[in-house]
Structure formats: C-alpha cells, structure tokens
Amino acid sequence: MIWSNDFFSIFLDPSMTYSCAVFKVEDESLEVAQQRKVNLLIKKAKVERNHHVLEIGSGWGSLAMEVVKQTGCKYTGITLSEEQLKYAQMKVKEAGLEDRITFLLCDYRQIPSRCKYDRIISCEMIEGVGHEFMDDFFGCCESLLAPDGLFVLQFISIPEERYEEYRRSSDFIKEYIFPGGCLPSLARITSAMSTASRLCIEQVENIGYHYYPTLIRWRDNFMANKDAILALGFDDKFIRVWEYYFIYCAAGFKSRTLGTYQIVFSRPGNDKLAYADNPYASLPAA
C-alpha cells in the first residue's frame, strides 16, 4: 500500500516537513520548531537573491518555498516521489512562485552537470543513498556546485563504533519503515567527501537532541488521528508498527545513540564566507 500525502499530513505539521525540527522551549509547537529549522538552514547556506539553489530531496516543497519567499532566489528541487512532486507543484502554483521554483522527478545522478548551483541543500535525504553510493553522491555535488558555492547537509547519523555492524545487518526500521535505508556515520560522510570531492567542512553541528520532541509530536498527532488512518485503508497492526517506529526512534535520540548533523561544506580558498563582513563571527547555530 502506498503511503500517500494524506497519510503523512495526519502526523506532520502543516508545512509537511519530514525531518528534525529545532525547539527553543519544551512546549513549543511543531510548526514553529520546523520553521526555526528551515530558517537555520537558510542562514547556514547564506542564500542570496542572485543565487540558484539546488535541493536534493525536496520532499513536499516546504523548504523550497520558504527559501524563495525569504530571499527571492531561483530554486530547483529534485524528488523521486511522484506524489511529492504533484503536491509541491500545486503548492508552488498556489503561492505564485512558479517563475522561481522548479521541481524535477529525477535521481541526483541524473541532474545535468552543465548547470552550476551557488548553493546545494540536502535535508535528510542521504540516508537513502546507501553506503556503496556515498562517494557517488559527493562526486555529483562536487560537479554541480559553483566554485565559491556552499553545500549544507542535514542527516541522521549512527556512531562510528556501530556503523560496520549496522550497515551489514537488518533492523526494525530497515524492515518496516525505510527498506534499503542506511544511516551514515560521521566518518563515512567525511570519507566520501575527501574521496570524491574537493569539499571541506566549514561547520558541524549536532541537533539530534531536537529529534526526540519532534518524534514525540509526530507520535501524538498520529495516535490522535487513528480513525483517519483506518479510513485510508490501514489496519490496527499498521498503527502499532508506526507507533513503535516513533517511540523506537525517539528513544535512540533521547539516549544519544543517534545523532542529527548539519554540516556546511565549502572548498579551500573560498573567501566569501565571512558573516556580516566580520571574519570572527561564527556560523549560525541552533
């Protein structure tokens, strides 16, 4: 059974953002926290009006629309989901942003390399790339990024000490929720970066502790709407599996067994990185 847009709308916030939010206070709404995460990505990417931004894994289009609304830049997003593509295109049309935002149904390896992007953003997509293709992913980013460009990556991570065993074995998430998925370790990310690109790391931040409240809110929304889930054709077993998924993952982040990193990549010699013309200013942080 296909997990439709209607299904995800049951537990996600109104922006349909399916990634870690950033909270300031315990009782903050999911919608506000997701907006803060989006703002943080925009600040870290230093997006300007004259930029062309590429998003690898554009989901339902919420990040694309917010970036363009805030900066006026040109934006291209790619997805492998026809459901997401149709939804995102509908939202862009409703917002009157069709002249600034383009969504493509394609794999990251199919993006024409003749176009260079000033910024690349990828938020919790690389988990679907797989261990074997991590080098390919960074090689594509290298070929697509402008010489003085920035690449901002957000991803869920597993500790290096568990990575080799984890990637060779199955678990509940791989079996029932994300078949074929593979959470990279931070070392696997940096290894692929150095092997397949000239990219270097400008900033690393672990926002994983914010995933616990994100997942708890998804779980609460999900369980509060069981009748709507059943009406979509799912059964009680499916509901129990997904409730377990939310709680299982929340426990991983609560115990700091899992992390969620935001990394800003650039290239050596990029002299356009000073924030607010202050070379001593730090990059934005959660």
Clarify whether 249 is annotated catalytic. Answer: yes
Q: Where are the beta strands (DSSP E) in 169-286?
A: 200-206, 259-266
Cβ atoms of 49 and 73 closer than 8 Å: yes
**Rounded to an integer, what distance in angstroms lies between the CA atom of residue 203 and that of residue 270?**
14
**Rounded to an integer, what distance in angstroms lies between the CA atom of residue 189 and that of residue 236?**
38
Q: What would the two tokens of residue 61 be?
A: 């289009």
**Rounded to an integer, what distance in angstroms lies between the CA atom of residue 149 and that of residue 213?**
33
| DSSP helix/strand/coil, 152 | strand
Edge-to-edge strand list for the sheet holding 259-266: 101-105, 74-79, 52-56, 117-123, 145-157, 259-266, 200-206
Q: What would the two tokens of residue 40 be?
A: 């943080």
Cβ atoms within 10 A of the Cβ of 79, count? 23
| DSSP helix/strand/coil, 201 | strand
Q: What would the two tokens of residue 81 be?
A: 């989901």
Provide the angle, in degrees to the nearest 10, between the axes of the packed helices 62-71 and 82-95: 30
Cβ atoms of 89 and 101 closer than 8 Å: no
Tell me 50's DSSP state: T
Q: What are the catalytic residues?
A: 249
